[in-house]
Chains A and B, each alone.
Chain A
Amino acid sequence: ELKVEQNPLFLSMQEGKNYTIYCNYSTTSDRLYWYRQDPGKSLESLFVLLSNGAVKQEGRLMASLDTKARLSTLHITAAVHDLSATYFCAVVREYGNKLVFGAGTILRVKS
């Protein structure tokens, strides 16, 4: 059974600081997604990571995937308040496009 673990589950950080969110998964998969969710809103797709060593960057966020270690990271550079949200990683389970989600990381960026 595929399990996805994120840590930390809650992150409070100052504006301008850097931090990394980790996503570990338990069985082989070669596709991983990062989503953002604002309070009361739906999930917004941030990154799709398709292969080992994949790295994608958008603004202050950078995501990477290491399929051998079964680990993805979401790195935040020089955080700003607008990045406050909940971030989820999701891993494709088996054939059939089934996503298994991590518990989510609640990020709060303080001024």
Chain B
Amino acid sequence: ETGVTQTPRHLVMGMTNKKSLKCEQHLGHNAMYWYKQSAKKPLELMFVYSLEERVENNSVPSRFSPECPNSSHLFLHLHTLQPEDSALYLCASSRDRITYNEQFFGPGTRLTVL
């Protein structure tokens, strides 16, 4: 595998379910990001991790819980979501978050909340 991978690619869940999104980067990067892309809004930054430490939480509701166990993996744990949380969730990585390094994006997980 090369680049940034995400699983699953599609997820349908009920509002009471708990699920997790997974992101893995094979680029040797130290910073990872979660973005949300909804139909009616521009791409929104949710979380930033640098060297496994969360450095940004963009006022995201607590029903989204990120986890970064190491610099190659990033998870987004989901629980008691709302239908308006249905969106494409994109993961990205960059060499670091200090200098202005290009971010590389994964293919995304298309989430539908029923």
Contact = CB atoms under 8 A, between A and B. Distances in A.
B43 interface: yes
B28 to A, nearest CB: 16
B4 to A, nearest CB: 8
A42 B98 contact: no
A2 B72 CA distance: 30
A41 B104 contact: no
A11 interface: no
B37 to A, nearest CB: 9
Given A42-B90, A96-B55, A4 B97 contact: no
A43 B101 contact: no
State the main secondary structure of chain A at its contact with B: strand
A97 B104 contact: no
Interface stretch (A56-64, A67-75, A76-84, A98-106): A98-106
Given A96-B97, A97-B98, A42 B48 contact: no
B108 A97 contact: no
A48 interface: yes
B102 A103 contact: no
11 contacts: A43-B90, A45-B103, A90-B43, A92-B100, A95-B98, A96-B55, A97-B97, A98-B48, A98-B56, A99-B45, A104-B43
Interface of B: 4, 31, 41-45, 48, 55-56, 90, 94, 96-108, 110
